[in-house]
Chains A and B, each alone.
Chain A
Amino acid sequence: MIAIIGAGPAGLAAAVTAAKKGEKVILIDSSTRLGGQYWRHLPSNWKQKRLPYFAEAQELFDQVLSSPLITWYSNAHVWQAEKKNEIFYLYVVKNGVEEVITAQKVILATGAYDRSLPFPGWTGPGVMTPGAAQAMLKTHGVLVGKKIVIAGTGPFLLPVATGLASAGAEIVALLEANKQWRWVFNVHGLLLNPSKIREGVYYLKKLRSLGISIQYGSTVTSFEAGIATIGKKEIACDVVAVGWGFVPELSLAGILGAKLSVQKDGTVVVDVDRNQETSIQGLFAAGESTGIGGSVLAIAEGEIAAGKGNRVTRWRAQVFAKGLQRVYPVSSGWLSSLNSEVTLCRCEEVKVSDIQSAIDELGAQDGRSAKLLTRAGMGLCQGRVCGRNVSEVVACHLSREVPDRERIASASRPLAGPISLGELGDGLGKKF
C-alpha cells in the first residue's frame, strides 16, 4: 500500500496516478474536504470561471472519490512516523483516537504555508496572512474586513486581491514589495510556460476592471488603531494581509530522517532525486515541500512520485519556479529596519530585544541557544511562524549568516501535529 499525506494538488495527482497503476492508496488529510490549501473550498460558482486549472481540480476530485483503490482518510493527521524494517508506520490521530497506518511507500505532499515577517502591530487583530483572508472567503464566505491593504511579495497576492475585491471588499492598497522590471529574470520561465502569461494577464485585467492598481516597491511598515503606515503615507483600513512567499511544511520529512537542504533564498526543502524519492528509500515527496513552485509543478511531481508523470512538464514548471524566486525575493532589509520592541515570537511573546539581550548578556550565539533562553519558537506553533525569523535576527545581531544546519534544525520539529495526552496515553486503536 502507498500512503499519501496531503490532499492538495500534489497528493491528489499522486493518488490518482498510483490508482491508475493498480496500486492501493490511502490518502491522509487533516481537512474534511479535498483540495489542500490551494484548491480547498472552491466557491460553488467556480465553474463559471474559465480557468483551466480549476477544471483539473474537479477532475482529480472526481477520480479520487470514484476510485475503489483510493481510501480518502479525511479529518486525520499524522502526528508521528517511523520506518522500521522497510515498513513505514504513520501514527495518525482521527476522531480522538490514535491509529497506525503501515505502508511500503509514502509520498509526502504536505504543502506550505505563508511566510510572515514581523513589523510593529503585526500581532494585533486585523493583521493576517493573505492565506488567512483567502481561506476565510473561500471556505466560509466570510470577508475578513471592509477596507483591506494587501502587501508583501509574490504572485499569490493577485488572486487574493481580486477574490476579496470581487466579494465586496475595498482594496485600499495592493503593495508588491518588488519592482515589476524583475520579471526580466523569468522571461525564459514565461516562454516555457505560456499558460502563466495568460494567467498573469487575466489577473491584471481583472484588477484593472475592479479599479485596483498595484504599487510596486513598497510595503506596510506598521499597523496601529486602524491605520496602516506605508512609507510616509498613512491609510485607514481594518485589515492588513501581508505575505512574503511560503514556507514548506517539513515536519514529517524531518522526523523520518529525510535529507533537507537550503535553497539560495534560505528556504528549507526536502531533497528528492529525479523520481521524487528522498534520501530515505521508499519515502517520496512532491509539491511545495520540495520547493515552492505552484500547482502545475506540484501535480507533475505528484504524478512522478507515484511512478508515472511527465518530466518535461516538471522541468518547465521548475524553470518557472526558480525564476519566480528571483522576481520576488525577500530582501533582508526587514532585519535592518526592525524595531527592538517588536514581538518576534507570537506564541511566547518574545521581543526582538529579548533575543538581543540573550545574545549580549547571556551568551546565546546561535538560534538554538537564543530560543532556549527566551522560549522563542517554543510555543504552540513550535516555531512554524517565527523559527526562520529568529535565526535571521540572531545571525544579523552577530553580523553573520544563518548556518544551513540551523535553518534545517528550525524547519524540523519532534511532533508533526497535535495529539492530546489522553489520545496518546490510550494507545493505538484500530490498525490499517
Chain B
Amino acid sequence: MSANKNFDAIVIGAGIVGASSALALTNAGLRVLVLDRGAVASGTTGAGEGNILVSDKEPGPELTLALRSRDLWFELREDVGDSFELEAKGGVVVSRGDDRQLQEFADKQRFAGVDVRVVGDEELHELEPHLTRGVNSGILYPQDAQCQPMLAAAQFLKIVRQRGGEVRTSANVTNIFSAMGKVTGIETSVGKFSTPIVVNATGTWAGDIAKLAGTFLPIAPRKGFILVTAPMPQIINHKVYDSDYVANVASGEADLQTSTVVEGTRSGTILIGASRERIGFDGSMNIDVLRRLAAQATSLFPILRDVQLLRAYRGFRPYAPDHLPVIGEDSLISGLWHSAGHEGAGIGLAPGSARLIADQIIGAEPFMDPTPFSPGRFQAGAA
C-alpha cells in the first residue's frame, strides 16, 4: 500500500465520541487523524440535547462509565476551556403516581455512588416553581449536567489540531486494510493513510465501517425526536423527567414509546425530548409523536402551553442489542477499536469511553473493567 501519510491513530467519525477519542489519544501523546464523511458533529451529535446523565442509569457497568464520564466532562472544561456551555444544572425525576419504584431505583443508585436526594412537595416546587401541582415528590440528581454537543465536538477537535493532530472532513472511508489480522491503514476519498490503530466512532454507521474492515458489529438506529421552543427567559431550572422515561430507556420493546424530558438551555430555548422509536432509518416526521411530546411537556409544566414550538428535529441514536455501548478492540482484527452504540447517552458517555480506549491503547490500567463493553460479545462465530 502506498500511503501518503502516517498517523499513530486514525479516528473515523467527528461526532462527540470521535472528537473525545481523538482528544484523549492526542493527550496520551499520539499523532491522530480524524476523518468524517460529512462535517464536524453533522450526524447524531448534531441532533442531540447534550445530556450528561447519571440519573437514568441502573447500577452496573454503564453507570460506572457514566459517573467517570461526568467527572471527565468537567476536567475537559479545564483542559479545553469554557467553550461548550457545560452546565451542572442537575436533574429532577418526578412521578405522578406511586413513587415507590422510583425511590427503590434511587436507593440502588445511591448505593452505587450516585448523589441522590429525595425532595418533598415544598422543596420540589421551590426547585421548579412552574412544575404542575399534580406532582408532589421527586428525586434530585445534582450530578446531571448538560453541554452544547456540537460546540463540544468542534472545540475538542480544535484542540486536537492545535496539539498536532489533523481533521479531514468530507472524507469518505472506502476501505480499511489489515494484514495478518492487524490494521495497517485506511483508504479514503481524500487519499490513503497508514496507521496501526483505527478507532471506529461512527455511531449509527459503525456497523458499516466494521463491515469494511471485514468484521461485524450489530449497531442499529433508533429514532428520537426533540422539540425546540422559541427562546424564553429561564423558567425551567433543571432537566425534569417524567419517571416513565427511566422505564423506557431500559425497555426493549420496538414500538413507539414516549416520555418526557423538559429542560431549558443557555440560549433560552426549551428542549423537550425522549421519544424513542426503533423503526430503522425512516426520516419522516411523525406528527403524532410531536403531539404526544407536547401534551406530556405541557401537563408537567402548564406554563409551556403558550410557548411556541420553533422546530422539531430527529436524530438516529445508535444502539446495540443488549443496550450497552460497544467500547473496545475488535476481537477479530487487532488495532481496530470501536466506540459506538451509546444510544441516547453518547454525549454523556463520550469522555469516559474515550479514556477507556486510550488507556488500553497506551497500556495503562483502565479505570474500570472494560469487558462488559467488549465488541467480542457480538463477534463470537461471526467470522
**Which residues of A does B touch, CB under 8 Å?**
80, 82, 91, 255, 348, 358, 361-366, 368-369, 372-373, 375, 378-380, 382, 413-415, 418-422, 424-427
The answer to whether B169 touches A365 (Cβ under 8 A) is yes
Given A414-B285, A421-B229, A425-B294, answer yes or no on A369-B42 (Cβ-Cβ < 8 Å).
yes
The answer to whether A382 touches B295 (Cβ under 8 A) is no
The answer to whether B312 touches A414 (Cβ under 8 A) is yes
Given A362-B158, A419-B308, A425-B298, answer yes or no on A368-B291 (Cβ-Cβ < 8 Å).
no
Bound-state Cα–Cα, A372 to B231, Å: 16
Q: In chain B between 273 and 326, which residues have their CB closer than 8 angstroms to a CB of chain A? A: 284-285, 287, 290-291, 294-299, 304-313
The answer to whether A420 touches B309 (Cβ under 8 A) is yes
Bound-state Cα–Cα, A91 to B287, Å: 10
User: B216 CB to closest chain A CB, in angstroms?
Assistant: 31
* Chain B residues closer than 8 Å to A368, beta-carbon distance: 39, 42
User: A391 CB to closest chain B CB, in angstroms?
Assistant: 13
* Chain B residues closer than 8 Å to A424, beta-carbon distance: 290-291, 294-295, 309
Bound-state Cα–Cα, A91 to B288, Å: 11
Centre residue among A255, A369, A379, A413 by max chain B CB count within 10 A: A369
Bound-state Cα–Cα, A348 to B154, Å: 20
* Chain A residues closer than 8 Å to B298, beta-carbon distance: 421-422, 425
* B: number of interface residues (CB 8 Å): 42
* Chain A residues closer than 8 Å to B296, beta-carbon distance: 425
The answer to whether A421 touches B307 (Cβ under 8 A) is yes
**Which residues of B does A touch, CB under 8 Å?**
14, 39-42, 46, 150-151, 154-155, 157-158, 167, 169-170, 227, 229-231, 267, 272, 284-285, 287, 290-291, 294-299, 304-313
The answer to whether A421 touches B42 (Cβ under 8 A) is no
Partner of B230, one of A255, A362, A380: A380
Bound-state Cα–Cα, A395 to B299, Å: 44
Given A372-B46, A424-B291, answer yes or no on A363-B157 (Cβ-Cβ < 8 Å).
yes
* Chain B residues closer than 8 Å to A361, beta-carbon distance: 158
* Chain B residues closer than 8 Å to A378, beta-carbon distance: 311
Bound-state Cα–Cα, A343 to B14, Å: 29
The answer to whether A80 touches B305 (Cβ under 8 A) is no
* Chain B residues closer than 8 Å to A348, beta-carbon distance: 267
The answer to whether B154 touches A373 (Cβ under 8 A) is yes
Binding site of A, secondary structure by majority: helix, strand, loop or mixed?
A: loop
* Chain B residues closer than 8 Å to A80, beta-carbon distance: 285, 287
The answer to whether A421 touches B157 (Cβ under 8 A) is no
* Chain A residues closer than 8 Å to B306, beta-carbon distance: 420-422
**13 examples of A-B residue contacts, CB within 8 angstroms:** A82-B287, A358-B154, A362-B151, A364-B154, A365-B40, A414-B311, A415-B311, A420-B306, A421-B227, A421-B272, A421-B307, A422-B304, A425-B297
Q: Which residue of A lies closest to B170 (CB)?
A: A365
Q: A362-B158, A380-B308 are in contact. List 12 more A-B contacts (CB 8 A).
A: A80-B285, A82-B287, A91-B287, A255-B285, A358-B154, A372-B46, A418-B309, A419-B309, A420-B309, A421-B229, A421-B294, A425-B299
User: A327 CB to closest chain B CB, in angstroms?
Assistant: 37
* Chain A residues closer than 8 Å to B299, beta-carbon distance: 425
The answer to whether B295 touches A363 (Cβ under 8 A) is no
* Chain B residues closer than 8 Å to A365, beta-carbon distance: 39-40, 169-170
The answer to whether B154 touches A363 (Cβ under 8 A) is yes
* Chain B residues closer than 8 Å to A373, beta-carbon distance: 40-41, 150-151, 154
The answer to whether A421 touches B231 (Cβ under 8 A) is no
Bound-state Cα–Cα, A418 to B229, Å: 10
The answer to whether B297 touches A369 (Cβ under 8 A) is no
* Chain A residues closer than 8 Å to B158, beta-carbon distance: 361-363
Bound-state Cα–Cα, A91 to B230, Å: 20
* Chain A residues closer than 8 Å to B151, beta-carbon distance: 362, 373
3 shortest interchain CB distances as A-B pairs: A422-B305, A425-B295, A425-B294
Bound-state Cα–Cα, A411 to B42, Å: 19
The answer to whether B291 touches A425 (Cβ under 8 A) is yes
Centre residue among B39, B46, B304 by max chain A CB count within 10 A: B39
User: B59 CB to closest chain A CB, in angstroms?
Assistant: 35
Q: Which residue of B lies closest to A383 (CB)?
A: B311
* Chain A residues closer than 8 Å to B46, beta-carbon distance: 372
Bound-state Cα–Cα, A368 to B231, Å: 20
User: B296 CB to closest chain A CB, in angstroms?
Assistant: 8
* Chain A residues closer than 8 Å to B305, beta-carbon distance: 420-422, 425
The answer to whether B154 touches A362 (Cβ under 8 A) is yes
Bound-state Cα–Cα, A362 to B84, Å: 12
The answer to whether A421 touches B309 (Cβ under 8 A) is yes
Q: Which residue of B lies closest to A255 (CB)?
A: B285
The answer to whether B297 touches A372 (Cβ under 8 A) is no
* Chain B residues closer than 8 Å to A425, beta-carbon distance: 291, 294-299, 305
The answer to whether B291 touches A427 (Cβ under 8 A) is yes
Q: Which residue of A lies closest to B42 (CB)?
A: A369
Q: Which residue of B lies closest to A375 (CB)?
A: B267
User: B369 CB to closest chain A CB, in angstroms?
Assistant: 35
Bound-state Cα–Cα, A368 to B47, Å: 12
Bound-state Cα–Cα, A415 to B310, Å: 8
Bound-state Cα–Cα, A89 to B156, Å: 44
Bound-state Cα–Cα, A325 to B342, Å: 51
* Chain B residues closer than 8 Å to A414, beta-carbon distance: 285, 311-313
The answer to whether B230 touches A364 (Cβ under 8 A) is no
Bound-state Cα–Cα, A124 to B25, Å: 48
The answer to whether B39 touches A379 (Cβ under 8 A) is no
The answer to whether A382 touches B311 (Cβ under 8 A) is yes
User: B353 CB to closest chain A CB, in angstroms?
Assistant: 21
User: A58 CB to closest chain B CB, in angstroms?
Assistant: 36
Bound-state Cα–Cα, A421 to B157, Å: 37
Bound-state Cα–Cα, A380 to B311, Å: 9
Bound-state Cα–Cα, A420 to B170, Å: 38
The answer to whether A372 touches B294 (Cβ under 8 A) is no
Given A414-B311, A424-B291, answer yes or no on A364-B40 (Cβ-Cβ < 8 Å).
yes
* Chain A residues closer than 8 Å to B308, beta-carbon distance: 380, 418-421
Q: Which residue of A lies closest to B228 (CB)?
A: A378
User: B313 CB to closest chain A CB, in angstroms?
Assistant: 7
The answer to whether B42 touches A415 (Cβ under 8 A) is no
Bound-state Cα–Cα, A427 to B295, Å: 8
Bound-state Cα–Cα, A375 to B148, Å: 11
Given A420-B305, A420-B306, A426-B295, answer yes or no on A372-B312 (Cβ-Cβ < 8 Å).
no
Bound-state Cα–Cα, A361 to B272, Å: 31
